[in-house]
Chain A
Amino acid sequence: VILVEDSVLLREGLDRLLGEAGFDVIGHAGDVDALTSLLERDLPDVVILDIRLPPLHVDEGLRAAHAVRRRWPAVGVLLLSQYAEPSYAADVVALGAQGVGYLLKDRVGDPAELIDAVRRVGSGGSAIDSAVVGRLLEGRRHDSAIDSLTERERAVLALMAEGRSNEAICERLFLGSKTVESHVRSIFAKLGLQPARSDHRRVLAVLAHLRG
């Protein structure tokens, strides 16, 4: 893992947290240039990137994510932000076929959640913050298709949008794999979506639907 975060304290905190969880933090960077030279030396499984980085503190991290994706497509990118913006989530998922994530910085207070997200991104999956998905779902509460979902189905939909696999959904909701599969089928039918061939496509399709 490489950490890119301009606040030294947060970077060190994350470093310790990830180290304790068994990750090998191979590099730190405070800005995009430092990240590039790190990547030129050694490739990590995941780059954890703050969205706002020097010099302008606008969206340097997001731009850097695009650059990393283009040059090193095998490296997973997990973006951290103080804000839960739906359009960012879509941007992040659109970054590539696999290994992308968008988390609120708040999640650093929930190590298990953070570590799970890093693992998912590192193994080629997606991780979208539950707060982002929550806002998207809330924004669609006037959507009759979403309305027609059962409570359970909505929970499954949210977890799908967060980028979780069927097995993870089973664990979270304490459901059997058959049940989850049937929920997923039912959701896709109700939303009028084509069944997705991969988890990533599933996230793309679900997020696209939620954004309207």
Chain B
Amino acid sequence: MAVLAVAVPLGVAGEWAYSRTGVQLPALLRDVAVGWAFIAAGLVAWQRDRERRVGTLMIAEGLSWFVTNFQGSGFPVLVFAGIWFGALNEAILMHLVLAFPNGRLKSLAERRLVTALYVLALAGGLAYAFVNGTPYDPYRCAGCTTGLPVPAPGDRLALVASHAGDGLGALLGVAVFVLVLRRWARSSGPARRELAPVWLSLGACALLIVSHGWEASPVRPPAIAALAIWIADILELAVPLGFLAVLLRMRFVRAAVGELVLSLGPDLSPPVLAEALRRALGDPSLELGLWHDESGDYRDHAGRLVSPAGAGDARLATLVDRDGQPLAVILHDPALAGDSRLLDAVAAATRLSAEPRRLAARIAASADAERRRLERDLHDGAQQRFVLLSLTLGSALQQLGQRPDEPALRATLARAADELRTGLGELRELARGIHPAALTERGLAAAVESLAARMPIPVHRAVAEERWPPAAEAIAYFVVSEALTNVARHARATAAHVTVARAGGRLVVEVSDDGIGGADPARGTGLSGLCDRLRAAGGALSVESTARMGTRVRAELPCE
């Protein structure tokens, strides 16, 4: 509202002043349109906190656009102001060009250049007003003077000063062009798209340079200079609209990230999310890495390291956490960094995706720990007690051996000892099922050997004699165990093969057989449960089973 209270009278006055110069109606309308387009775009941008800076610049551009027109007003003070601030809108436009889209200047060079532009526009305009006393070209009109004493036309000093100002303006314009070109060269994808209205502005700028150049040159066909200014103005009308379009597009992208999360539905698995983010943000180089507690780093769904430090200059790393606990890292185009809310939206989506995985991994890890604990409790508790009991019974039997007069008691005790032995055996099997001691104590090779010894068919093994993180070993063991159980139950195979090996930072487990095949992984509850666990650990399970060609179960999981 406050903006409009200033802008409306300023705009009306400006256009009234412009109309006094005898300008034709189309040119007048175009001038009105450019000024108001900037103000309107600025107001739209102002609605959003993060676009407020750039909105301010756009409104300032619109207002200064009108002020320039005061040169045609006929009131000496206003004419003076019009001349003084005549080039201000060009300086503001260049500022906008350099600061788009977040309204901040990114380097010292940019800040210095913008300062120089303002100094030149204001000091040059002031000098021009004092030296010339009459407006720029399109604003020449009857009685349009500052009313101040001016040097005689053709005065060399005045001429040199005026040309120097125009020449300097042209040079600064070139500098802006170079800086924007540099930014373009260093950015990619989304950042380049943001630069579209900037290029449009620079087109206008180039034409202004040409027109200024013409004014500075001794031979200047005014018709062409006027034409250049006219085209530049047309472009300038496109400029605010271009800026507005990009701002609105960024809002749309933000909304799209939210939409995206909704549209993904239940499948929020990291690879799906990463692909969706790439599409929504228009950044094909985007990488998503999820935090793995076991390895203490970020990895993508294939287990490759995604290092925040390895982002380099071309990409930026955004860390996503939950209450200070690392969850994920997103490597993305730096352009997205200017937009904190967009990144918030992306982070929220990532959290939704990463958190269940992390929770599942936690639950699986604690279940593992619980199994190990149970096994230990059994080992140190019940099993130990039974062993002691068996020791006691043994010595009772031995003592009885010296007294041959109690055959019935002896038989009873022997039966008890037998029962106890069976009980110990059963307890041992139970403990093994909960968590095989061989796995904890000796690792996968020993545990797989133990499994193989229980199989009714030969199991050929190639298991790396290597220790892995306990969680990885447990999953790998249960994959082999479950797969071999299925082979024994359903495959009608004559032999099975188990391989466990390291491949590029991943533990790869493969169990194959030469049986009847046709296994349906969706129906095997054991394997599908393992599939969930593997996914939680950042791994994957695949089952290949063709009729009469045997079955191959392959599991991969990160293990560094």
Contacts and interface: CB of A to CB of B under 8 A. Distances in A.
Interface string B406-446: 00000000000100110011001001100001101110011
A189 B452 CA distance: 26
A149 interface: no
A94 to B, nearest CB: 13
B391 A13 contact: yes
A106 B438 CA distance: 18
A9 B392 CA distance: 11
Nearest to B394: A109
Interface stretch (A41-49, A70-78, A83-91, A168-176): A83-91
Nearest to A212: B458
Interface string A179-212: 0000000000000000000000000000000011
A10 B391 CA distance: 8
Highest count of chain A CB atoms <10 Å: which of B379, B391, B449: B391
A116 interface: no
Interface in B371-395: 376, 379-380, 383-384, 387-395
B449 A82 contact: no
Contacts of B452: 139, 212
A84 B428 contact: yes
A82 B446 contact: no
A211 to B, nearest CB: 7
Given A82-B428, A109-B417, A139 B453 contact: yes
A111 B431 contact: no
B446 A88 contact: yes
A87 B456 CA distance: 18
A11 B390 CA distance: 14
Interface in A47-61: 51-52, 57-59
B458 A109 contact: no
A13 B388 contact: yes
Given A136-B453, A139-B455, A82 B391 contact: no
A95 to B, nearest CB: 14
B398 interface: yes
A142 B457 CA distance: 6
Interface residues of B, number: 39
A25 interface: no
B249 interface: no
A55 to B, nearest CB: 13
B450 interface: yes
Contacts, number: 106
Given A20-B398, A111-B398, A141-B456, A87 B431 contact: no
Contacts of A154: none
A150 B379 CA distance: 38
Given A10-B391, A16-B395, A109 B421 contact: yes
A148 interface: no
Contacts of A16: 395
B454 interface: yes
A212 B437 CA distance: 21
A109 B453 contact: no
Contact of A106 (B424, B437, B454, B458): B424
Highest count of chain A CB atoms <10 Å: which of B376, B431, B432, B453: B453
Interface in A1-24: 7, 9-10, 13-14, 16-17, 20
Contact of A86 (B379, B389, B421, B450): B450
A52 B450 contact: no
Contact of B391 (A17, A52, A57, A88): A17
A83 B453 contact: no
Contacts of B441: 51-52, 58-59, 62
Given A88-B442, A110-B417, A136-B453, 16 more contacts: A7-B388, A10-B387, A13-B391, A17-B395, A57-B376, A57-B379, A81-B437, A82-B379, A87-B446, A106-B425, A108-B390, A111-B398, A141-B456, A142-B458, A212-B452, A212-B458
